[in-house]
Structure 1
Amino acid sequence: MNLTTVLAPVAGAAFGLAAVPDPVFSQAMVGPGAAIDPERIPGEAVAPITGTIIKLHPHAYVVVGDDGRGVLVHLGIDTVQLRGAGFCLLAAEGDRVEAGQPVVRWNPAAVAAGGRSPFCAVVALDAVDGSISDVAVGTVGAGDELFQWS
């Protein structure tokens, strides 16, 4: 059985996706996973797994591991409307990254000040029901284990 350890991309309070104020994530329409209410300080969002960045927007990115499993990190809710303002890319599409390597610099406090939720969704793309376990709850640091994907 293949087991993928998915790391927290940001520091904050981890919780289940069901509490995210967006039905696409809370109803696991794109897949199961976890969410983080980030610390309200400027910081870097890191790669959740080792692999290749196949999609990179200022507010979201997907890293696909060598096993073909992809993990989506979405920084904040409705942050696509910011059109990149407040986000700084530290990597590029096609880059190979190590788990824990910085990918985007952002400021969750600025996102919140703009009236948007800074909650970060971390989703195991195309994962089957019941394949996510050991989901962290409570305080996590960027690069800490967030969940297991079997």
Structure 2
Amino acid sequence: MLSVLSPVTGTAVGLEEVPDPVFAQGMVGPGTAIRPEPGLQTAVSPVDGRVVKLHPHAFVVVGAADGNGNGGKGVLVHLGIDTVRLDGKGFTALVAEGDDVVAGQDLIRWNPTDVLEGGLSPIVPVIALDAVGDVVSRPVTGEVNRGALLFQWA
């Protein structure tokens, strides 16, 4: 089992609450989402691994394989919906693509309130990429702090 941590503080909800059908219907992969608390936040890495994709509003961290079926798994964190439209405004990367990171390490500073005031949803999907079947277990619901366990990936 791979433990996936919450990248932000807020309220964990199901993917069906994400106002984007690609995420809501699990087309990108299974996972969950977080309605972030308002105000300045720093999104953290959900797993130990390497940042393989880094955009101002989203990132993918792939864990290193450990021989026990853990690692080699990519987790996508998308900070808000349609936030690509902001062209990076309001997002500050604290790491670079290719960096090795540890779970709970600060990756991107952003403000969900600014996203909401810009007419976009600040909800944060956290997705188990390339996962097939029912591999996400025990997703947290309700209040969650950044760096706390969000779900297990079998």
| Superposition deviation, residue 32 in structure 1 | 0.2
Does residue 40 in structure 1 map to residue 44 in structure 2? no
Ranges of 4+ aligned residues in structure 1 off by more than 6 Å? none
Q: In structure 2, what is the equivalent of residue 72 of structure 1?
A: 76
Cα distance in 2 for residues equivalent to 1:129 and 1:45: 27
| Superposition deviation, residue 144 in structure 1 | 0.6
Q: In structure 2, what is the equivalent of residue 87 of structure 1?
A: 91
- The one-letter amino acid of 2:126's match is V
Q: In structure 2, what is the equivalent of residue 99 of structure 1?
A: 103
Question: TM-score, normalization: structure 1?
Answer: 0.98
Cα distance in 2 for residues equivalent to 1:29 and 1:72: 13
Secondary structure (helix, strand or coil) at the match of 2:116 reads helix
| Superposition deviation, residue 18 in structure 1 | 1.2
Cα distance in 2 for residues equivalent to 1:43 and 1:51: 21
**CA RMSD across the alignment:** 0.5
Q: In structure 1, what is the equivalent of residue 121 of structure 2?
A: 117
Cα distance in 1 for residues equivalent to 2:54 and 2:123: 18
Secondary structure (helix, strand or coil) at the match of 2:50 reads strand
- The answer for unaligned runs of 5 or more in structure 1 is none
1:25 to 3, 20, 23: 23
Cα distance in 1 for residues equivalent to 2:32 and 2:149: 11
Secondary structure (helix, strand or coil) at the match of 1:143 reads coil
- The one-letter amino acid of 1:125's match is L
Q: Report % sequence identity.
A: 58
